[in-house]
Every structure is written in structure tokens, then in C-alpha cells.
Amino acid sequence: MAAVDRFNLLYREISRSCSFYVEALAIVGAWYTVRKCVTLVFDAYSMLRLHAIPKLVGEIDIVKRYGRWAVVTGSTDGIGKAYAEELAKRGVNIILISRSKEKLEAVSRSISETYKVETDFIVADFSKGREAYQAIKEGLKNREIGILVNNVGLFYTYPDYFTNLSEDMLWDMININIASANMMVHIVLPGMVEKKKGAIVNVSSASCCQPTPMLTIYGASKAYLDYFSRALYYEYASKGIFVQSLTPFVIATKMVSCSSVTSKRSFFFPSAEEYASHAVSTLGLSKRTPGYWKHSIEFTLGQLANNFADFSRELTLLSEMEYRTQLPYHE
């Protein structure tokens, strides 16, 4: 066979291969675009349902739905204090748990006088491990707890390599960020199940969704809380218990004082009070949410970026396959 004929045959084979892969890429692109458009529509509807509609139609009666008393851990500063105040604003009596008696007394008195609700407090240092819970059990005995907010948490002083952390820091992170939520739920959940109503809010973090180098164990502890919350929801939803995982992005509190940027309130960095007013409104509506509409936008954009990266990898793989089919065959 002449060389020209062999070249023509090869050219036809390459053309057919190109046509197939171009069509395949077009189908993949169209499928991706449609899927993303549908996802964006559903995400937009979810944000409206979660953050806008309750403001228009009126918020739920939290006391009637869940009960008269709420327990909030880590409640003398930041999100915990602001969340307790938001619940009190809606008529819920508050039990505060933290390690500083002076701060507890001040916050308890302030909430009681401002919102005209009953308040109480329990002094407990969650970094002490199991010994902290006997006082909590005694303090909550015979109390009809309707809402539990597991907010207490420990953050890094500054981002650092895992091997530079002390053993004390490792144990404190486990005891405060992980063990506290387990034990608090174990204490109050039986009473909720008996009444067939109640709500548990575990304050996780957006860092649970992606690995966080230099904040390794903090991100891992928040991933645990998120998984724990979602699993509990499916276990106890049929028993009348609502379990929510809050996954906020950065909130301007003392916890992030290591950064001069994130510690100041801005468009995407709300104050604890601003965040809590939105987060409480999502209670009973979403089992997993950033809790704040601007953070929901960040979460959606982050998902789109990840999906786009995945799609780019798929296209690269298809392109490599196409290239390899066009390589000349060597005997």
C-alpha cells in the first residue's frame, strides 16, 4: 500500500476519534452547565427559605416548640453569649456554663434584667475532662431542658505546625471541642426524648468542610462535631429532637484576635450579635447551615469553586485520553 494511502487511512481514523471526543466534551459541558444551573436555583431558594421567609412570615415560638429552658456552654463571650441573649429575647430561660464565676454572674444578671427571663449558671472548666461533668449533672437535675447549645471551643493562639503544639494543647482541644459536646448531649438528651421534643445546636465551623493546614486539630475537631450532629439528627429526628450543625465562617470575636483583619467586623465578618440573630432564626429549619446569609453565599461560592476544579480535572483527563488515541501506533 502506498504511503499516501496509509496516511489517508490514519487521517480518517484520527478525524473520527476527534469527532467522538469533541462530542463527548460537549455533552459533559452541557450536563455540567445544566446541573450547576439547577443547583444554583435550589441554593437560592434554600437561602430565601432559610434567611428571608422567616423574617416575612414571623419566627417560630421557640418556647412552645422546644421548651422553657436552654443550656449554653461557653456563654460568657462571643457567639455563646450572643446566642444566649437571642434565645432570652424570644422568652427562653437560660442556664449559662463557663469556667469564670465572675463573668457568669455578670452575664446572668445582665440577661435577666434586660430580657426579663430566669437565668442560672454552672461553673465548669471543660479542659479538666471528666471531673467537670458532675457539677453539671447536679446543676441540671430536674430541669426540663428544651435547647442545648454546644458552643464552647478552643482555637489556636496562632496558626502553627502540628508538632509544635504542646501535649496540653492537644488534650485541651479534645476535651473542650469534642468531649464536651458528647457529654452535654449525653446528659440532656434522655430528658428530651422523654418529652418527645427538644433541640441540640452544635457550633462547628466552615473549616469542617476542607482540610485546614496549620489549624489541623481545630479543623478536625469541628469536622467531628459536624459529623456527630448529622448522625444524631438521623437517630433522633423521629423522636421529636431537632439537631443542627452550625458551620459559620469567620466571626469577629476574641477567638480570632490573632488576626487584625478577621477580628474586625466587616461585610463577611459579622459581629457575634449579628451572627446570633440570624443563626437562631434558622433553628428548626435547617439541620446543617452556616447560620448567616452572607456565610451561605461564601459556602455556595466555595462549593462552586471546588466543583469547577473537579470539572477541570475531568476535562484534563478526557483531553489526555483524546491525545493518546491520536498518537501514531508503533510496532
CATH number, domain with residue 163: 3.40.50.720
Tell me the HSE value of 312 on the side-chain side, using a 13 A CA sphere. 6
For residue 57, is pLDDT > 60? no
For residue 149, is pLDDT > 60? yes
In this structure, are 216 and 170 located in the same domain?
yes
Q: What is the mean pLDDT of residues 205-229?
A: 93
Pick 47 or 216 by higher pLDDT: 216
In this structure, are 126 and 147 located in the same domain?
yes
Q: How many domains does the chain have?
A: 2
* Cα 75 → chain centroid: 19
In this structure, are 256 and 176 located in the same domain?
yes
- pLDDT (0 to 100) of residue 208: 84
Dist. CA 294–CA 250, nearest whole Å = 11
Pick 75 or 40 by higher pLDDT: 75
Q: What is the mean pLDDT of residues 281-308?
A: 77
- Given a contact cutoff of 8 angstroms between Cβ atoms, the answer to whether 232 and 200 are in contact is yes
Dist. CA 286–CA 230, nearest whole Å = 11
- pLDDT (0 to 100) of residue 6: 60
Helix (H) or strand (E) holding 245: strand 241-246
In this structure, are 251 and 320 located in the same domain?
no
- Is residue 32 part of the annotated active site? The answer reads no
- pLDDT (0 to 100) of residue 176: 97
Domain hosting residue 306, numbered range: 1-58+292-331
Average pLDDT, the chain: 83
| DSSP β-ladder status, 69-73 and 241-246 | unpaired
Catalytic-labelled residue, pool 66, 83, 218, 292: 218
Name the pTM for this structure.
Answer: 0.77
In this structure, are 40 and 100 located in the same domain?
no
Burial code of 199-223, b = ≥16 C-beta within 10 A, e = fewer?
bbbbbbbbbbbeebeebbbbbbbbb
In this structure, are 123 and 27 located in the same domain?
no
C-alpha cell at 269: 465578618
- Angle made by CA atoms 217, 287, 137, in degrees to the nearest 5: 65
Percentage of the chain surpassing pLDDT 90? Answer: 60
In this structure, are 146 and 26 located in the same domain?
no
In this structure, are 30 and 93 located in the same domain?
no
Dist. CA 38–CA 30, nearest whole Å = 12
| Least confident among 107-116, 218-227, 249-258 | 249-258
| Least confident among 58-67, 166-175, 246-255, 271-280 | 246-255
In this structure, are 5 and 126 located in the same domain?
no
In this structure, are 53 and 172 located in the same domain?
no
In this structure, are 185 and 299 located in the same domain?
no
- pLDDT (0 to 100) of residue 267: 64
Distances (CA, A) of 38 to 31, 32, 34, 45: 11, 10, 6, 11
In this structure, are 221 and 325 located in the same domain?
no
| Least confident among 84-93, 255-264, 285-294 | 255-264
